[in-house]
Amino acid sequence: MPFGQAVLTIDLGAIVANWRALRERHGGPVAAVLKADAYGLGAGRVGQALAAAGCDAFFVAQRAEGLALRAAVGSAPLIAVLDGFAPGADGLAALIPVLNRLEDCAAHAGRPAILHLDTGMARLGLSPAEQDRLAADATMRAGLRLTYVMTHLACADTPDHPLNGLQAARFDAAAARLAPGVPRSLANSSGIFLGAAFRSDLARPGAALFGLNPTPGAANPMRPVVRLRAPILQVRDLPAGGTVGYGADWTAPRASRIATVAAGYADGYLRAAAGRATATLAGRTVALVGRVSMDLLTFDVTDTAAQPGDWMELIGPDHPPDTLAAAAGTIGYEVLVRLGSRYRRDYTPA
Ligand SMILES: *Cc1c(COP(=O)(O)O)cnc(C)c1O
């Protein structure tokens, strides 16, 4: 019996190509959002590849992510922390806080920072009431040293949603009132595809860099980045009426061959994908059958020449993360960030 570890291949060249394509499409500067370890793909490696290609601004969610990324990319690029951080701790001079509340504006007075205005997300950023208070407080405004003023779109992946235009208009007005002359940052991945009204001085894509489709419902304009292959450990014959896996959930409708593959929900292969997901074996599409186990998957390979040791492609150009996500009732973002630590990770150089 072959033993094997699944292999996750991350194409740094495709990430760089996607960043360049987004810059072209945006018609202006483009940062890279590398929160959650670059959506699970490795912020250090991804950051180094993008910095070498000329990306000079990065966003992370948390302070510790920012410090780790700083160590990887060197001192030149801007690294902003979306959740903000308290002033004063060691090493924080290397990072730019995003100011999400009036208290943050006071705490970081005199230091470079990014002002986040909430225009309809109701998540982070100064609320409309706080924006009014900042407008009325000339002293606090004078203390701000803003690198950018930003907002975040709630519905960018739904191009005809009325909130998109409303947020762009609110941002225009609020930025002119509170931060006149300060460079602006607006679009995420999908926002870049909404047109000229969503252009700004710094777009902030994450997902599209990693090959997820920023234009759901239309063809994916991005290059695939992630390929996940796992070895077949065993192939067995099953008579018609035989069942597979926990709960005996799947019953063979005919005499079948079943391939057992070395990956499972502990590796982020979502359990909810059972009964719907497919994979690629030697160019053919095969169906996942039975439940997803912690470490094992079972596929119906009846009409193939599958052998132990063959490689099953679980994610790749034919089975993008968005498709696996749809099978599990979630989005590609969640598939990427859950890719576990058990895979061998191969990085294709940029
Ligand atoms: C996550 C995030 C982004 C990137 O969004 P994508 O949809 O992955 O492009 C941009 N801005 C903010 C504030 C975010 O939280």
Give residues with Cβ within 8 angstroms of 193, minimum separation 6: 25, 156, 159, 214, 215, 221
Rounded mean pLDDT of 248-276? 97
Q: In this structure, are residues 51 and 73 in contact, taking their beta carbons and an 8 Å threshold?
A: yes
Q: Give the chain's mean pLDDT.
A: 96
Q: Is 116 in the pocket of ligand 1 (CB under 6 A)?
A: no
| Residue 1 confidence class, pLDDT cut points 50, 70, 90 | very low
For 56-87, write each residue's pLDDT tens digit.
Answer: 999 999 999 999 999 999 999 999 999 999 99
Query: Both tokens of residue 181?
Result: 């002359």
246 is catalytic: yes
pLDDT over threshold 80, residue 91? no
Looking from the CA of residue 156, the nearest atom of ligand 1 is 7
Q: How far apart are CA 271 and CA 265, in angstroms?
A: 6
Please report, as a single letter, which amino acid is at residue 311: W
For 277-292, write each residue's pLDDT tens digit.
Answer: 999 999 999 999 999 9
Rounded mean pLDDT of 323-329? 97
Q: Is 119 in the pocket of ligand 1 (CB under 6 A)?
A: no
> Could you tell me the distance, in angstroms and rounded to a whole number, from the CA of residue 150 to the centre of ligand 1?
12
| Residue 328 confidence class, pLDDT cut points 50, 70, 90 | very high
> Could you tell me the distance, in angstroms and rounded to a whole number, from the CA of residue 205 to the centre of ligand 1?
6
What pLDDT is attached to residue 2? 57
Q: Is 321 in the pocket of ligand 1 (CB under 6 A)?
A: no
Share of the chain above pLDDT 70, in %: 99
> Could you tell me the distance, in angstroms and rounded to a whole number, from the CA of residue 206 to the centre of ligand 1?
6
Please give the radius of gyration of the chain, using alpha carbons only, rounded to the nearest integer.
23
What pLDDT is attached to residue 4? 82
Residue 312 buriedness (CB in 10 A; 0-12 / 13-18 / 19+): buried
Rounded mean pLDDT of 254-279? 97
- Give the Å distances, CA to CA, from 119 to 125, 128, 155, 170, 194: 8, 8, 12, 6, 17
Q: Is 26 in the pocket of ligand 1 (CB under 6 A)?
A: no
Query: Both tokens of residue 17?
Result: 């190509």
For 209-244, write each residue's pLDDT tens digit.
Answer: 999 999 999 999 999 999 999 999 999 999 999 999
Looking from the CA of residue 191, the nearest atom of ligand 1 is 9
For 142-179, write each residue's pLDDT tens digit.
Answer: 999 999 999 999 999 999 999 999 999 999 999 999 99
CB-based contacts of 86-89 (< 8 A; 24+ apart in sequence): 87/111, 89/63
Query: Both tokens of residue 38?
Result: 């670059």
